Amino acid sequence: MISCPALMVSAPSSGSGKTSITATIARHARNSGKRVRVFKTGPDYLDPMVLARASGQPVYQLDLFMGGLAHCQQLLAEAAENADLILVEGVMGLFDGQPSSADLAAAFGLPVLAVIDASAMAQTFAALALGLQTFRSDIRLCGVVANRVGSAAHGRMVAEGLPGDLPLVAALPRQQDLTLPERHLGLVQALELPELDAQLDRWAQAWGEASGGFEFQPVRFDCESAPALPALLKGRRIAVAQDAAFSFIYPANLDCLRALGAEVLCFAPIQGQALPDCDALWLPGGYPELHASALRANPHFFADLAAHMAAHKPLLAECGGMLALVESLTDAEGVAHPMAGLMPGHAQMQQRLAALGLQSIDWPGLGKLRGHSFHYSRLDTALAPLTRASNPNGGQTAEALYGLGSLRASYVHHYFPSNPEAVATFFAGQHTHADHRSPD
């Protein structure tokens, strides 16, 4: 067992300010000389980008479905060995979802700091905080943050009625500088916010002034080491597109590829970089619709993709990566952009959410992989799915997995540690080169 101060930051609902507060605490601790590791509960790419900037360290997912209990335990124990503080940002409301943030807090004994948007309430704040404290007996709230208060008097008012064992840790004012810009999939990417570091430092100063020396409590983590993965990809060079158009990458996925023996080669298509000499390619999700002109302007990218597929080299395209391969992609303003044309079909961005949910997908001949889906686009293609995913909670989202020669494409964002052997088999080229063109 290893001990490290740790805290989960959660809330009654999405939009309460969890990411901002977690980033604020992380930056304050970092500026105080502490080594901080931050995790995000559940599938998410955008919040972790901000949290990574705040902490100065990569942010990994803790998901009891995608990764499992032992995997989450391993990540926390590894972090505890070198960190002075571990922060875990929750997802949605504290008790929302299956598994929920509360399930994760209970599994690892994480004390919970609840962030409550106090902008439209007064004494009811305490009633809501007390409800969060008593709803489940297997988790423990260690304090609450009143976010977006209107004044110092408002901050004192919301604290009225809080029990003695549930202190008001901080009352933070409602101001534009304490918010982050958003777009259709969530927060704007951290790499697109040039003033983010200065903003984080201002938040950290505000937290130091408001929190009154809040003390983080130590948590003990089981530090049993996981068995090493077999070097099934030794000698394989795997290229990964990584820039503002293809940025939805779990750090654990890259770790998994390297642990399997692969050499990972990252390149930035929208910066004009050519596809590196490689044995396999991963096009992750992101925002190709926002960078379609830059992708087309790259003199190498689409031609390199065509040559890669013609050579029958494995190509995994996820969500936005898949949209870059179709014939055309129409953005939210109705402008149609020609894409690589290597996969039959046309994609259209929509104003409404098209799909959301955890996914389990049984790859033919490889086994089950887990992940999630979250997109605003619709794809019309003549390809028949090789298979469809299922939602563990019975939700309607059931994404297709498409195959075309050495290509596998899906809206699913796969979590590679859920089945490293299946991932290795695919990227090693040991898969069926099926050409599926029949209508769905």
The residue from 72, 142, 256, 319 that is catalytic is 319
Helix (H, G, I), strand (E, B) or coil at 411: coil
Residue labelled with tokens 């260690």: 142
- Collapsed DSSP state (helix, strand, coil) of residue 127: helix
For the chain, give percent helix, strand, coil, nearest 5.
30, 25, 40
Chain-centroid distance, C-alpha 240: 17
Distance CA 9, CA 425 (A): 38
Q: Which two tokens stand for residue 174?
A: 């409602």
Please tell me the distance from the alpha carbon of residue 78 to that of residue 91, in angstroms, as a whole number.
22
Q: How far apart are CA 118 and CA 54, in angstroms?
A: 24
Residue 171 near residue 159 (C-beta atoms within 8 A): yes
Q: Name the E strands within 15-109.
A: 36-41, 60-62, 85-89
How many Cα atoms sit within 13 Å of 208 on the Cβ side?
Answer: 13
DSSP assignment of 373-400: EEESEEEE-SPPPSEE-B-TT--S---E
Residue type, 39: F
User: In the annotation, is 319 catalytic?
Assistant: yes
E-assigned strand segments in 150-225: 168-173, 182-183, 186-187, 218-221
Chain mean position to CA 430: 29
Strands (E), 284-410: 315-318, 328-330, 336-338, 346-349, 355-363, 367-375, 377-380, 387-388, 400-404, 407-410
| Identity of residue 439 | P
d(CA 256, CA 83): 22
What does R_g of the chain's alpha carbons equal in angstroms? 23
- Catalytic residues, which ones? 319
